[in-house]
Amino acid sequence: MSGTRNTETLALDGELTIFRAAELKTLLAGLSPRSALELNLEGVAEVDTAGLQLLEAARRAAAAAGAPFRLRTASPALIDAIRLMGLHELLLAVAAKEERA
Amino acid sequence: MNLEEVYITFLNESRELLEAMEAALLGMEGAPDDPDLVNAVFRAAHTIKGSSGVFGFDAVEAFTHHVESVLDRVRNGELSVTDDLIAVMLACRDHMGDLVEAAVAGADTDATVQATGRGLVEQLVNWLGQGAAEPVPPTPDDRSATASDSAVANSCWHISIRFNPDVLQAGLDPLALLRFLGRTGELVHVEPVLDTLPPLDAMDPEVCYTGLEIALRSDVDRSAIEDAFEFFRDDATLHILPPRAPMDEYLALIDALPEEEMRIGEILVRTGALTAAELDVALGRQQQTPAPLREPIGQMLGEAGTVPTEVVQAAADKQQRAREASRQSIRVDADKLDSLINLVGELVIAGATTSLLAQRRGDEELLESNSVMTRLVEEIRDSALRLRMVQIADTFNRFQRVVRDVSRDLGKAVRLEISGGETELDKTVVEKIGDPLMHLVRNAMDHGLEDTAGRATAGKPEQGTVRLNAYHDSGSIVIEVSDDGRGLNTDRILAKAREKGLVTANQQLTPQEIARLIFEPGFSTAEQVTNISGRGVGMDVVKRNIEALRGTVDVESSPGEGTTFSIRLPLTLAIIDGFLVGVGESSYVIPLDMVIECIEVTDEERAEHVDAHYINLRGEVLPFLRLHDLFDESAAGHGRENIVVVQYAGQKAGLVVDALLGEFQTVIKPLGKVFRNLRGVSGATILGSGEVAVILDVPQLIQTASAQAGTRAAA
């Protein structure tokens, strides 16, 4: 659609937990809010509430800027956690098809 | 505080509440219309119901609920207080006690207890049926049985939890909590509440912004669900609503949650807790209630049976705080207190050593500073001992119930009069005096008091009186149990004693001596063994129990007027003020409280009394004992003798010693088994020099002295 928008792709793996929360936040907050964000999360082995909060905050930031937000890949552990916590919008972001007509 | 400690707190609090409940119920017998008493009973039951609910002690909660319902009707004037009602309530109170003990012990109640419970519930339900015809309002505890109109349709548990911001840093993960909950049942719906989540760049990634509204389908009980939250107890605000909870509970929840009313309403609908229609009704009703009339949330939550904050711990704390506010005190472990007293004992001995050294050196300054320290140690000693002192009132008050029950069993009208309840004595002693007192009180009612007809014939008021009295008397506490009954039958006692060979046929005894025969082993005059006092436990056991506490028991009786038993006990079992005396090479300690005066004996007087066993003390016959002879000390040669005049229970005697060594703080050390049968000795202590001194058993010595003087006089 709008071909002018940049897409930033970020791959995170290992722990998505409080132990890396500060580092991850800096990483996510450093991305341009106007860019579409694609996250590759198939390598995420462990996730906790802090990690989920960060993903949700990133999703909200993108939504507020009107930018697409997509979890291109996600590990089973992550999907389980998102389901368990009832974070439906994140779940939708996993399922979202590439925004190409 | 771990769970076990919380249980113990719950148990102690419950016991106290049950005692208060009993006292108020007994008070109601005399003043059935006193609203304060009814309220006190209600409050006790209500609090026990509330905290047992929080702890998941369902049996206690369910039973107490019935009790509370009946009490509520009494409070509202719908039921009147009758003797029957009080009797049933007392039985209920006992049953609650059984249930609480069983619940805390984690044991199932046995069949008898269960049968009692069922019987009581039946009676309570009967009472609820009486009076006004309106149906009993459904309450949270009955909800599973009687789903009422006001209950919501939701068949899941609804759990609402808001975490403290720092839980993640504390290593707690709400996600893990969800996993755990998922194992207790089916997580039908989880709704994260992230209303407080700030924009990405403003958020603190280590703070928890997540709240949860959870619909859980599970057959487990409340306590099992609460267990899941155990680690979050101090770190979250938790509400647990059972399946088909009354609408009121949801109202309270909506009120209590920090989010907007409409927002919560939506969440509740989304989780399936409420239907949209129910929500409309709920919010509509919420607005109908004018704000000032709304009950405080806490109260609403309390009544609805939800768990306001931090579950178990908070409930226990709150209950305790409420009590402490009314009576400024803290609970201290008895062991800690005992170890303090032991240390103070050692301090006293160490202080005495320092004193002695200072004296030997003749160092004035050291003596001076040491005397200040000695005074302080004495004060510490007294304060420490006072920590162990408790009023006897609680022990006495327990007998109201005993007297009431026994008087019903016996068909006698009996009143219990209590005085001196504020008298304090050592906690250990208080604990051990209960049984002997129980025996004496039952005995007084059963044997002491005449039956109603007998009292009428004797021209006495129909209602008999049993009195419990306590007071301090020269270093002892005296507890009296008296009745206004027929008095001891001295003829019968004497006959019985002769029959049993306790006295010979021609022995002449004063009425007092005859009365004391009832303490002899194997003596019992009860012609018929009743289940009240004739349980094969005689007065000799009472006497032995009291002597084990270094006490004595005596009896006085006047025919037709009544009998009084006096128990005399030492104030404390640990440390006493002693009077140190020298006999030959050794030192002996006499409890200072029992010393009246010291008299010097001149050589002439000594010559005069050399064979006698009594002297003339200002016109009074004073029997005396030579400790020299008694303890086979080697003669100390010449020098003056002194007589220490001692008194116990109104009797005096003189103890002849070689030297008066002054006051001495005495830490009582028990004597070993070997010395148990030694007469005239009650314990030992360690002197500053490290030597051991024997503590004299003054009551025993007085008896010996009197007996000797008596045989001499008779001879």
pLDDT digits (tens, 9 = 90+) for B471-484: 987 667 899 999 99
Spatial separation of the C-alpha atoms in residues A53 and A87, rounded to whole Å: 10
Q: Please identify which residue in the block is written with the tokens 């459904």.
A: B138
pLDDT at B678 over 70: yes
pLDDT of residue B644: 92
Cβ distance of A54 and B187 shorter than 8 Å: no
Spatial separation of the C-alpha atoms in residues B456 and B461, rounded to whole Å: 7
Cβ distance of A18 and B200 shorter than 8 Å: no
Q: Do residues B659 and B553 touch, judged by C-beta distance below 8 A? A: no
Cβ distance of A49 and B173 shorter than 8 Å: yes
pLDDT-based confidence at residue B635 (cuts at 50, 70, 90): low
Spatial separation of the C-alpha atoms in residues B698 and B655, rounded to whole Å: 9
Spatial separation of the C-alpha atoms in residues B144 and B431, rounded to whole Å: 44
Cβ distance of A53 and B199 shorter than 8 Å: no
**φ, ψ for residue B329 (rounded to 5)?**
-155, 160
- B371's CB contacts (< 8 A; 6+ apart) are none
pLDDT-based confidence at residue B427 (cuts at 50, 70, 90): confident
pLDDT of residue B480: 94
Instruction: Find the closest chain B residue to A28 by CA distance.
Output: B200
Q: What does the pLDDT look like over B300-315, one tens digit per residue?
A: 333 444 433 334 444 4
Count of A–B CB contacts within 8 Å? 76
pLDDT of residue A72: 86
pLDDT of residue B615: 81
CB atoms within 10 A of CB A9: 12
CB atoms within 10 A of CB B155: 11
pLDDT of residue B529: 44
pLDDT of residue A52: 93
Spatial separation of the C-alpha atoms in residues B643 and B579, rounded to whole Å: 13
Q: What does the pLDDT look like over B107-156, one tens digit per residue?
A: 777 888 888 888 888 888 887 776 443 333 434 443 333 333 467 777 88
CA nearest neighbour of B521 among B504, B505, B497, B499:
B497
pLDDT of residue B137: 40
Bridge partners, B665 (sequence order): B577
CA–CA min distance B174, chain A (Å):
6
Residues in chain A: 101
CA–CA min distance A82, chain B (Å):
9
Copy the structure tokens of residue B128. Answer: 């609820």
Handedness of CA B178, B184, B190, B194 (dihedral sign): negative
pLDDT of residue B609: 66
SS3 at position B669:
strand
pLDDT of residue B310: 39
- Asked which of B109-113, B562-566, B612-616, B636-640 is least confident by mean pLDDT, the reply is B636-640
The residue among B75 and B292 whose pLDDT is bigger is B75
**Nearest beta carbon to residue A29 from set B174, B192, B201:** B201
pLDDT at A101 over 50: no
Cβ distance of A48 and B175 shorter than 8 Å: yes
Q: What Cα–Cα distance (Å) separates residue B425 from each residue in A38, B542, B649?
A: 79, 19, 18
To the nearest 10°, report the CA torsion of B216, B220, B221, B226. -60
Cβ distance of B190 and A18 shorter than 8 Å: no
**Nearest beta carbon to residue A21 from set B201, B205, B210:** B205
Q: What does the pLDDT look like over B210-241, one tens digit per residue?
A: 899 998 888 877 777 877 777 777 788 888 88
Share of chain B above pLDDT 70, in %: 83
pLDDT at A5 over 70: no
Q: Which residues of A fall within a CB distance of 8 Å from B272? A: none
Q: Which residues of B fall within a CB distance of 8 Å from A25? A: 200, 203, 205
Q: Which residues of A fall within a CB distance of 8 Å from B182? A: 84
pLDDT of residue B58: 81
Q: Do residues B236 and B162 touch, judged by C-beta distance below 8 A? A: yes
Give how far the C-alpha of residue B502 lies from the chain's centroid of Cα atoms, to the nearest Å.
Answer: 40
Q: What Cα–Cα distance (Å) separates residue B80 from each residue in B38, B86, B128, B472?
A: 11, 10, 12, 43
pLDDT of residue B146: 35
End-to-end Cα distance, chain B: 72
- B311's CB contacts (< 8 A; 6+ apart) are B54, B226, B229, B230, B233, B238
Bridge partners, A15 (sequence order): A46
CA–CA min distance A33, chain B (Å):
10
pLDDT at B545 over 60: yes
Spatial separation of the C-alpha atoms in residues B601 and B607, rounded to whole Å: 10
Spatial separation of the C-alpha atoms in residues B538 and B523, rounded to whole Å: 7
Spatial separation of the C-alpha atoms in residues B41 and B19, rounded to whole Å: 10
Interface test with A, best of B163, B187, B200 (most A CBs within 10 A): B200
Q: What is the DSSP string of B459-480?
A: T--SSEEEEEEEEEETTEEEEE
Q: Which residues of A fall within a CB distance of 8 Å from B197? A: 53, 56-57, 60
pLDDT of residue B711: 63
**φ, ψ for residue B599 (rounded to 5)?**
-120, 140
DSSP run (H or E) holding B431: helix B427-443
Spatial separation of the C-alpha atoms in residues B482 and B445, rounded to whole Å: 10
Burial degree of B623 (CB within 10 A; 0-12, 13-18, 19+): buried
Instruction: Find the closest chain A residue to B200 by CA distance.
Output: A57
By a Cβ cutoff of 8 Å, what residues of chain B touch chain A? 168-169, 173-176, 178-179, 182, 187, 189-192, 194, 197-201, 203, 205-206, 208-210
- Asked which of A20-24, B182-186, B535-539 is least confident by mean pLDDT, the reply is B535-539
Q: Do residues B563 and B487 touch, judged by C-beta distance below 8 A? A: yes
Please give the average per-residue pLDDT across B325-333, as a whole number.
64
Give chain B's mean pLDDT: 78
Q: Quick one: chain A helix, strand, coil %, rounded to 5?
A: 45, 30, 25
> Sheet holding B414-419: strands in order across?
B414-419, B464-473, B476-483, B562-570, B552-558
Instruction: Find the closest chain A residue to B215 by CA distance.
Output: A86
**φ, ψ for residue B246 (rounded to 5)?**
-65, 150
Spatial separation of the C-alpha atoms in residues B309 and B306, rounded to whole Å: 9
Tell me which amino acid residue B46 is. H
pLDDT at B19 over 50: yes
**Nearest beta carbon to residue B174 from set A28, A49, A57:** A49
pLDDT of residue B309: 36
pLDDT at B421 over 70: yes
CA–CA min distance A97, chain B (Å):
24
ipTM of this complex prediction, to 2 decimal places = 0.89
Give chain A's mean pLDDT: 82
Helix B247-256, helix B297-304: angle, nearest 10: 140
Interface test with B, best of A54, A84, A89, A90 (most B CBs within 10 A): A84
CB atoms within 10 A of CB B587: 20
Q: Do residues A44 and A74 touch, judged by C-beta distance below 8 A? A: yes
pLDDT of residue B566: 93
Cβ distance of A21 and B206 shorter than 8 Å: yes
Please give the average per-residue pLDDT across B271-283, as a whole number.
75
pLDDT at B205 over 50: yes
Cβ distance of A53 and B201 shorter than 8 Å: no
Tell me which amino acid residue B600 is. E
pLDDT-based confidence at residue B101 (cuts at 50, 70, 90): confident
pLDDT of residue B645: 92
Share of chain B above pLDDT 90, in %: 5
pLDDT of residue B294: 39
Q: Please identify which residue in the block is written with the tokens 């049953």.
A: B95
Spatial separation of the C-alpha atoms in residues B161 and B193, rounded to whole Å: 9
pTM above 0.90, yes or no: no
Instruction: Find the closest chain A residue to B175 by CA distance.
Output: A49
- Asked which of B5-14, B169-178, B194-203 is least confident by mean pLDDT, the reply is B5-14
pLDDT of residue B590: 92
